Every structure is written in C-alpha cells, then in structure tokens.
Amino acid sequence: MHARVRHETLAPVWPVQAILDLFALPFNDLLLRAQTVHRAHHPANAVQQSSLLSIKTGACPEDCAYCPQSSRYHTEVEPAPLMPLEQVLAAARKARDAGAQRFCMGAAWRSPTERQLDQVIEHVQAVKSLGLETCVTLGMLKDGQAERLKAAGLDYYNHNLDTAPEHYGEIIRTRTFQDRLDTLRRVRDAGLKVCCGGIVGMGESREIRAGLIAALASLDPYPESVPVNQLVKAPGTPLADAPDLDPIEFVRTIAVTRIVMPRAVVRLSAGRESMHDSTQALCFMAGANSIFHGERLLTTPNPQAQADARLFERLGLVPMPDDTVSATLETHAAASPA
C-alpha cells in the first residue's frame, strides 16, 4: 500500500497507487488512453512554443543537486548579474520573430529582493508590450511580491515541485517542499497562472515519479502548465553521473501526466537536446503539447531551431493558435482516477 500525499495545502486527488497503476499499463494501452484524453481537451497536432532566457545566471546560494547554477558546485556556468533591459528586449524580439508565443525569464535566486523585483517588473512590462505572453521564475516569493508581478502584467510564474515530497530532502536541503507550496499558493492567490512541474532522470524510482505527479495534481487547481524536465546532467553537479532514464519510461511519465492533468499544457521541457527524434515523437503522441524553442535553455543547449522546424514538419505539428492557449488556461478542477 502506498501512502497518499498529504500536505497542508495539498488535497490528495490521485492516490499514488492509482498513478502507479497507469504507469504499469501495457505501453500501447497507456498511449491510447493518453492520446484519447489529449484529443478530448486539446487540438491534436498543435504545440505551444515558449522561449527561455536566463536574466541572472549562476552564483545561486541554493544547493539543488541537479543545478549547474548553484554556487556550491564547480560547473561550467559563468555567473552573470541581472541582464540590462535592452538586452532582454532584443532577445524577446528575436524569440517573437522566430515564432515564440511566450517569453520566460529565469533568475538564479533563492528569492528576489524588492529592488530586484522592481527591475524584473520593468523587464516584464517591456516584453509584454511586444505582444508576448510573459513568464518568470525567480525563486521563492514573499507576501505581496506575486501581486506586484500580476499588476505588472505577468501571465505565468514558474515554480517547480521538482520531485516527490518524500524525495525532496535528498535533492535540495536549503529549502523545503512546504516552502515551494507556500510560494505556489501566493502565486495562485495573486491571480497568476501557474507553471509547475518537475525533473525526472535523477536516479529516482517510478514511485517517486508517481509521487511527483500526484503532488502536482493535488495543487488546487492543478497547474495550467506542467513542464516535465529530463535531467540535463551538468558536469560538476552531484547528479552529473545519474543513470540514464529509459526513454520508454520517460514517455510513460508524459502519458501519465497527460491523463492525470487533462487540461494542463504539458511541456516536453529540458532534455530534448539528448533525446532521439522518435522519443520526442512518442512524447507528442503521449500528450506533450509544449516545448522550449531556441538554441538555449537557461545555461545548457536546446535543439537548433532548424532541427525543430524539420521535426515539426515530419510530424505535421503546428504552432498552437493563440486563442487555444488562452482557452485551455481557464481555472479547472483536477481529474480523478476512473
């Protein structure tokens, strides 16, 4: 018997065992079910495209075992202070012209100060004025900060649960799972849309992957956007030599995420650079309908725009129409096990 996820602000909707039962389905049955759920809630062949920019890089005081931006590990990342507005705007224009619908700005902070937030707010307003959706990921927020971002016109806040509650302390020691939930509550209460997912391929068990999905589904309401990151093994981090995750298990993780959070936009996030085209194709079949577009994630490579364009052409995938993106994101209740 597996414990249900119980947390102060988590209402368990999917028992971990029900999620494990999905994982255990024959692959073809799982994919058919995921594809059926996908088609009931989303255009079948449309993929949302976000672009990502690191606006403050490295020198982060946190100890996340997967992250090349932590100051605790010797990695290849060159720290850089907060990027000036003009440089951010130039990157946003380039992303928009290349077809991005949303521009996500990431900062390697534990949590922003009010002064840092003032500067990010200017970035958000400027990017928004280009007609792009905006997303930022700045670490933990204090009371009132999410409201300030909302007032500036921010659309999404990205804040990942990253792994199952029972595994969290093995990956990150400088903050708790409850800290993550507290920020997510502030983001939700401020009326921002929530982008929240996790990382797989950190050497975790299937039960941990199921626990992560259960925790995400227990957020009330569950996130509008769920990034599923495959660990990018960064030299110098404690997880640099983590064992490879079987691609079929990765596809299963996408399929289960799709079934459990039917209306969420599921992002095939970090890890595409080392992923075979056929694995990516299976992920789209399993219900992934968003990617990061552009040659860089935050500090690590992402597939070249041309390679993505070719893959989309081979698969008959098209950009998600803007009105579909907004329609998908209305508040929704979580799905429940059949």
Nearer to ligand SAM, 240 or 307 (CB): 240
For residue 173, say whether it is annotated as part of any ligand binding site: no
Per the residue annotation, which of 180, 186, 188, 195 is the catalytic one?
195
CB under 8 Å to 90, separation ≥6 — which residues?
none
- CA–CA gap between residue 249 and residue 203 (Å, rounded): 12
Structure-block tokens of residue 32:
């058919």
- 54: CB partners within 8 A, 6+ apart: 80, 105, 106, 107, 108, 296, 298, 299
Is 135 known as a binding-site position? yes
Q: How many residues bind ligand DTB (CB under 6 A)?
A: 16
By the rule CB under 6 A, 298 interacts with ligand SAM: yes
Which 232-251 positions form the footprint of ligand DTB (CB under 6 A)? 232
Q: Which two tokens stand for residue 306?
A: 């041309």
Q: Is 283 a catalytic residue?
A: no
Pattern 185-214, binding to ligand DTB, x per CB under 6 A? ------------x-----------------
Q: Is 66 in the site for ligand SAM (CB under 6 A)?
A: yes
- Cα dihedral 72, 73, 74, 78 in deg (nearest 10): -70
Q: Where along the sequence are the contacts to ligand SF4 (CB under 6 A)?
A: 60, 62, 64, 67, 69-70, 108, 110, 139
CB atoms closer than 10 angstroms to residue 179: 17
Nearer to ligand DTB (CB atom), residue 69 or residue 119: 69
Closer residue to ligand SF4 in complex, CB, 109/250: 109
CA 337, distance to chain mean position in Å, is 23
DSSP-based three-state secondary structure for 10: strand
- Find the catalytic residue in 135, 180, 209, 263: 135
- Judge whether 195 is annotated as a binding position: yes
- Which residues are designated catalytic? 60, 64, 67, 104, 135, 195, 267
Binding residues for [4Fe-4S] cluster: 60, 64, 67
